[in-house]
Amino acid sequence: MPRERSFSEPEVLNRLTDVFSTHGYTGTSLALLQEATGLGKQSLYNTFGDKQSMYLQAIDCAVQRAAHVTAAVQGAEDGRAALVLYFDSLVRSCASADPAENSCIVTGGLMEGLDEAPLTWALTSRWQATHELLRSAVERGQRDGSIANQAPSAELAELLIAMVSGLRVAARAGRTRSQMERLVALAMGVLDMA
């Protein structure tokens, strides 16, 4: 008869996600995962699979953590307000003293240049979903008049998504919250260009 688990899978998955977000895929060792979760190697593998499987589940967990931001962006009053909500949330996250919160598993994973197909697909598809969220908000703003710039929405979204990675790096390089807010304001100014 199998032993009953004495831990919460969602809680452990959140801890795994924090470790992968902070240290990246290649920088995360089994010892770090064990230390963060308090579980042994066999318990981790039996519950979550191998390291690649754990990482894929951590990516999904990170996306679920951000679902409230996506919902707020989609429900904003206009396109510009949607982008303001998105970047306010991003700057707040980047400025956090918590390494797991100021890191992004997707941005970090893409910057690592992982060459394992399932990982690359998972990361690029999440990145593309963020691009689409931003593109949709830009297009909405162009239609509702809150964004004056009529350049192709995909190109403006490309600029904004580059800002997403840039803010993550800026935070790691020691930029303050107010400095990052000024950077966002400059980037948002591009949307006002007719």
Q: Is 147 helix (H, G, I), strand (E, B) or coil?
A: coil
Q: Is the residue at 120 inside a domain?
A: yes
Given a cut of 90, whether residue 11 has pLDDT beyond it is yes
Residue 125: CATH number of its domain: 1.10.357.10
Residue ending a domain, choose from 61, 79, 101:
61
Quick one: 55 and 88 in the same domain?
A: no
Which residue shows structure tokens 């007719």?
Answer: 194
CA dihedral 120, 123, 129, 134 (to 10 degrees): -110
Quick one: 86 and 163 in the same domain?
A: yes
pLDDT digits (tens, 9 = 90+) for 64-114: 999 999 999 999 999 999 999 999 999 999 999 988 888 899 999 999 999
Quick one: 101 and 169 in the same domain?
A: yes
Quick one: 85 and 170 in the same domain?
A: yes
Mean pLDDT of all residues in the chain? 94
Quick one: 107 and 156 in the same domain?
A: yes
pLDDT digits (tens, 9 = 90+) for 28-61: 999 999 999 999 999 999 999 999 999 999 999 9
Quick one: 82 and 147 in the same domain?
A: yes
Determine the Cα–Cα distance for residues 35 and 193; give it in Å rounded to an integer: 51
Quick one: 26 and 90 in the same domain?
A: no
Given a cut of 60, whether residue 119 has pLDDT beyond it is yes
Predicted local confidence at residue 2, as pLDDT: 52
Taking the mean position of all CA atoms in its chain, how far away is CA 27? 18
Residue ending a domain, choose from 61, 77, 99:
61
Q: Which of 94-103, 127-136, 164-173 has the highest mean pLDDT?
A: 127-136
- Which whole-number Å values give the CA distances from 22 to 1, 112, 125, 181, in the listed order? 37, 13, 21, 23
Q: Is the residue at 161 inside a domain?
A: yes
DSSP alpha helices (H): ranges in 66-176? 67-74, 79-94, 99-102, 105-112, 117-144, 153-172
The number of distinct structural domains making up the chain is: 2
Query: What does pTM read for this prediction?
Result: 0.91
Domain with 88 in it: 67-190
Q: Which of 63, 95, 103, 118 is nearest to 178 (CA)?
A: 95
Predicted local confidence at residue 111, as pLDDT: 92
Residue 46: CATH number of its domain: 1.10.10.60
Quick one: 129 and 53 in the same domain?
A: no
